[in-house]
């Protein structure tokens, strides 16, 4: 009887061991299955993201090609209008704007900066102070501008770990480092400013409404430019009422571009870039990249 009890106990222990091993193996298989599924999903996501990015790059390449076109009917006008086309299952939307239409942060006068900031909604007193801060950020001296700018002591008083750069802006995103420029104001200013032209005065030919207002043009002339700009078809130059700062329809050769690729399943990629055409890009490129960002704008 005792031997039978011992035998039953051994069989019970063996059964528990087998069940425990089965549970362990089931858990291991489940972990491997989950890991394989996760890796497959990651691979699929990376593959789709890469394809979308390449489709967006195709938009940039096509824009560069059309901006250099000799046929006026095929040439893209760099005034920010959207150009759409299909490519490998993606819808591509490309907008190109001549950089000469923007306010250059490195050479714009305080009055022009004030005009731009008030045009996007800042009150005059704040715009005046920030225009001075921008001028102080880029100039090499330690003197405050008459507009009431900011040098190193003002940055220190605000608790910032840096001071005025005292050198030209190298990118538009550096505007965020100017004391008093918050995220909301930066987002309003970013589409209308540049660091690539060296022009003290933007060209009205392709300029946005806030830049036209900042230039101090008469309200009726601004309204006419904006209204007529939507009328020309692709390949036709924008209107130039009063012959104000006329440019060729193809622009100055330095452009900012937004290329957005979207697919029906929701996959998307966007490239925000600036480039210069006719400057001998590397490896036979049609353009020389000045800035390049995958994703949303700075």
Give the model confidence (pLDDT) of 1-41 as tens digits.
555 556 666 677 777 777 888 888 888 888 878 787 777 77
Q: Are residues 96 and 113 in the same domain?
A: no
Contact indicator for 32, 254 with CB cutoff of 8 Å = no
What are the b/e assignments for 216-233, b being 16+ CB within 10 Å?
A: ebeeeebeebeeebeeee
Give the model confidence (pLDDT) of 125-183 as tens digits.
999 999 999 999 999 999 898 878 899 999 999 999 999 999 999 999 999 999 999 99
Binned at pLDDT 50, 70 and 90, residue 279 comes out as low
- Report the candidate in 278, 206, 108 with the shortest Cα–Cα distance to residue 117: 108
Does the residue 39 lie in any domain? yes
The pLDDT assigned to 147 comes to: 76
Q: Are residues 56 and 77 in the same domain?
A: yes
User: H helices of the chain, where?
Assistant: 2-67, 110-119, 124-138, 152-157, 183-189, 209-214, 219-229
Name 92's bridge partners.
Answer: 85, 261
Q: Which of 91-100, 105-114, 154-163, 283-292 has the least mean pLDDT?
A: 283-292
Q: Are residues 86 and 108 in the same domain?
A: no
Pairing of the two strands 287-294 and 103-104: unpaired
Residue 7 domain boundaries: 1-100+250-298
CA dist., res. 60 & res. 159, Å (int): 41
Contact indicator for 239, 228 with CB cutoff of 8 Å = yes
Q: Are residues 156 and 173 in the same domain?
A: yes
Three-state SS for 109? coil
Q: Are residues 34 and 118 in the same domain?
A: no
Contact indicator for 295, 84 with CB cutoff of 8 Å = no
pLDDT for 290 beyond 80: yes
Name 93's bridge partners.
Answer: 84, 260
The pLDDT assigned to 282 comes to: 58
Does the residue 63 lie in any domain? yes
Does the residue 165 lie in any domain? yes
Does the residue 162 lie in any domain? yes
The pLDDT assigned to 296 comes to: 54
For residue 216 the two structure tokens come to 């101090």
Q: Are residues 29 and 84 in the same domain?
A: yes
Tally of domains within the chain: 2
Does the residue 223 lie in any domain? no
Q: Are residues 65 and 109 in the same domain?
A: no
The pLDDT assigned to 105 comes to: 98
The pLDDT assigned to 5 comes to: 58
For residue 43 the two structure tokens come to 């691979």
Give the model confidence (pLDDT) of 196-250 as tens digits.
999 999 999 889 999 999 999 998 888 888 787 766 554 455 544 444 333 334 5
Does the residue 241 lie in any domain? no
Q: Are residues 24 and 70 in the same domain?
A: yes
Three-state SS for 144? coil
For residue 275 the two structure tokens come to 């480039």
CA distances to 3, 106, 132, 147 from 143, rounded to whole Å, are 102, 17, 11, 11
What CATH number should be reported for the domain holding residue 178?
A: 1.10.40.60
Q: Are residues 30 and 79 in the same domain?
A: yes
Name 94's bridge partners.
Answer: 83, 259
Does the residue 235 lie in any domain? no
Q: Are residues 47 and 107 in the same domain?
A: no
CA distances to 16, 20, 22, 36, 148 from 30, rounded to whole Å, are 21, 15, 12, 10, 66
The pLDDT assigned to 223 comes to: 86
The pLDDT assigned to 199 comes to: 94
Does the residue 281 lie in any domain? yes
CA dist., res. 242 & res. 149, Å (int): 36
Contact indicator for 103, 197 with CB cutoff of 8 Å = no
Three-state SS for 76? coil
Q: Are residues 107 and 87 in the same domain?
A: no
Binned at pLDDT 50, 70 and 90, residue 254 comes out as very high
Q: Are residues 3 and 87 in the same domain?
A: yes
Residue with tokens 């540049």: 194
């Amino acid at each position: 009887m005792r031997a039978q009890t011992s035998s039953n106990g051994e069989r019970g222990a063996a059964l528990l061991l087998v069940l425990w091993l089965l549970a362990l193996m089931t858990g291991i298989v489940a972990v491997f299955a989950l890991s394989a599924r996760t890796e497959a999903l990651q691979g699929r996501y990376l593959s789709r993201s890469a394809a979308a990015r390449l489709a967006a790059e195709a938009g940039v390449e096509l824009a560069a090609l059309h901006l250099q076109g000799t046929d006026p009917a095929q040439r893209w006008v760099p005034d920010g209008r959207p150009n759409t086309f299909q490519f490998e299952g993606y819808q591509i939307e490309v907008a190109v704007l001549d950089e000469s239409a923007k306010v250059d942060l490195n050479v714009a006068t305080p009055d022009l900066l004030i005009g731009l900031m008030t045009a996007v909604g800042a009150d005059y007193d704040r715009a005046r102070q920030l225009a001075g801060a921008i001028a102080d950020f880029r100039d090499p001296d330690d003197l405050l501008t008459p507009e009431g700018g900011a040098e190193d002591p003002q940055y220190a008083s605000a608790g910032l770990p840096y001071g005025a750069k005292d050198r030209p802006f190298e990118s538009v995103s550096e505007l965020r480092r100017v004391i008093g420029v918050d995220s909301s104001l930066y987002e309003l200013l970013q589409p209308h400013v540049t660091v690539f032209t060296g022009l003290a005065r933007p060209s009205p030919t392709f300029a946005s409404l806030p830049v036209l207002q900042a230039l101090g043009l008469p309200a009726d002339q601004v309204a006419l430019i904006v209204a007529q700009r939507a009328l020309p078809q692709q390949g036709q130059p924008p209107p130039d009422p009063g012959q104000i700062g006329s440019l060729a329809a193809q622009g100055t050769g330095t452009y900012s571009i937004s290329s957005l690729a979207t697919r029906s399943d929701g996959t998307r990629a966007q490239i925000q870039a600036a480039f210069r055409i006719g400057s001998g890009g590397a490896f036979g490129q049609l353009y020389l990249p000045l800035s390049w960002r995958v994703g949303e704008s700075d």
